[in-house]
Structure 1
Amino acid sequence: MTLFCERPTMRLLRRRTKNVGDSALTDADIIAWSEEDPEIFSTIIDRHARRIHRHLARRFGVPAADELVAETFVAAFRLRNQFDITQSDARPWLYGLATDLANQHRAARQTSRRSPR
């Protein structure tokens, strides 16, 4: 007995990826699909983690980038239902999340340096 009934679009996506792989899907397809199958979100990480890391490393250094990349993708996963699926590429959204998190960390560090101990 099947407890989970797939929507027709999910079946079509699975059939489509069976033959051509993840590269045929847009980021929007994958993010939408991840609502039904959260594990597919790892494809977004695989596609974009290096670029996000480079972006953060240039601005904040490698040690900070290592931590912030992980936080960026955790936030993206949690907020994936807010992603505008009319946008096929998630990079602008991910860069925005990464930059916001990095700025929050920077502000927190500056505040902690100023506060008396």
Structure 2
Amino acid sequence: MAGIGRFEDIVAWQKARVLTREIYLVTASGGFAKDFGLRDQIRRASVSVMANIAEGFERAGRAEFHQFLVVAKASCAEVRSHLYVALDVGYITEDLFRGLSDMTEEVGRIIGGLRRTVNQIKS
């Protein structure tokens, strides 16, 4: 993409990195830490967001980057869905849920905007 030299410069990737760190911190203690299935799945989903942004950026073309952004945005929804499970079984509080859910929505919106921009670039 013109103007961006490295995936680390992409705001969506930067925000996804913060989200991933928060997910790792939250899942490292309490009941969440002992629920290996849910813990590992939500961690993988959060890592998928940042990894797909990075991998798509490094691909050869606009269409591929766009497709990787589609997957990254879907992974945000997966993280949010897992947060509902964590809330429902008492691993996280309502306040923590809201904060993390808001983060996933923000990252998803940013990725959506980036996806629209990438889609408008001429090949």
TM-score over 0.5 (shorter chain): no
User: Which structure shows the bigger proportion of residues in helix conformation?
Assistant: 2
TM-score (norm 1): 0.32
Please tell me whether Structure 1 or Structure 2 has the larger radius of gyration of its CA atoms.
1
